[in-house]
Amino acid sequence: MSRVWALFKAHPYTSNVVGYTTLFTSADLIQQSMLGGKSKQGHKMASDGTEGNLSVDRPEGTLDATSKPPEDSAQLREAELSSSSSTKTVPALAGIDWSQTARVAVVGFCFHANFNYHWLRGLERMFPGGGAKKVSGKVILDQFIAAPATISAFFIGLSVLEQKDDPFEDWRQKFRTSYMTGVVYWSAMQAINFSLVPPVARTVFVGGITLVWTVFLCHFRQQ
């Protein structure tokens, strides 16, 4: 732990930006593997790699038009075993959209990590130290300036990288809900950050908080 702390002191910019970007990107992987995977239920992948739907329940006694009734129960069991062996459920990692994760990483590195590093340093210069008044001032400025900027950069930045015809569509639909949710979450988290975390490590601490927040944003954006 002492080595990590020494690294932060020796290379604060690199340590904070790399740490923040790693956590920011991990959030999308978590969202896709744990939440995005639910959208894949009801699908299977054949052994040759082609995807198909699960068979639809048919009324009892009816048959597929292209199939023939098995002559006895042994043939029926053999057909079931053959069918189950030729299909498999899609693994969690196989369903990851790596291009989306790469876009999240680009937005996280190019804007969020660098913005938060310089923004938090600027807040500390304006309101140095702790105390209720100074922490409150930092939190209020953070919610009125940084929060709208980072949320907007997330929605618009990803839409631009996806080359959408209207890069502001997601922003118009989801900014208000995201911002109102973030005011509650970030006000509490930043109060802890400004009160207890040393300035040299605040960006990577925000990255840890952002891990949860970005899981929400990524999932919310996919809805």
* Residue 39 in this model has a pLDDT that exceeds 70: no
Q: Is residue 9 part of a domain?
A: yes
Spatial CB neighbours of 167, under 8 Å, sequence gap ≥ 6: 156, 159, 160
Q: Is residue 42 part of a domain?
A: no
- Pick 8 or 153 by higher pLDDT: 153
Q: Tell me the residue range of the domain where 126 lies.
A: 2-29+97-222
Residue 181: per-residue pLDDT: 92
Residue 85 falls within a domain, yes or no?
no
Please spell the DSSP secondary structure of 85-138, one letter per residue: HHEEPPPTGGG--HHHHHHHHHHIIIIIIHHHHHHHHHHHHHS-S-SHHHHHHH
Which among 35, 46, 10 is positioned nearest to 201, based on CA atoms?
A: 10
Computed over every residue of the chain, the mean pLDDT equals 79
Is 41's pLDDT higher than 60?
Answer: no
Would residue 216 count as lying in a domain?
yes
The answer as to whether 82 is a domain residue is no
**Residue at 202 is within a domain:** yes
Q: For residue range 111-167, what is the model confidence (pLDDT) as tens digits?
A: 999 999 999 999 999 998 888 899 999 999 999 999 999 999 999 999 999 999 999
Judge whether 121 lies within some domain.
yes
Q: What is the pLDDT of residue 109?
A: 94
> Would 78 be classed as within a structural domain?
no
In 10 A of CB 113, how many CB atoms? Answer: 25
Put simply, whether the predicted model's pTM sits higher than 0.95 gets the answer no
Number of domains in the chain: 1
pLDDT at 222: 81
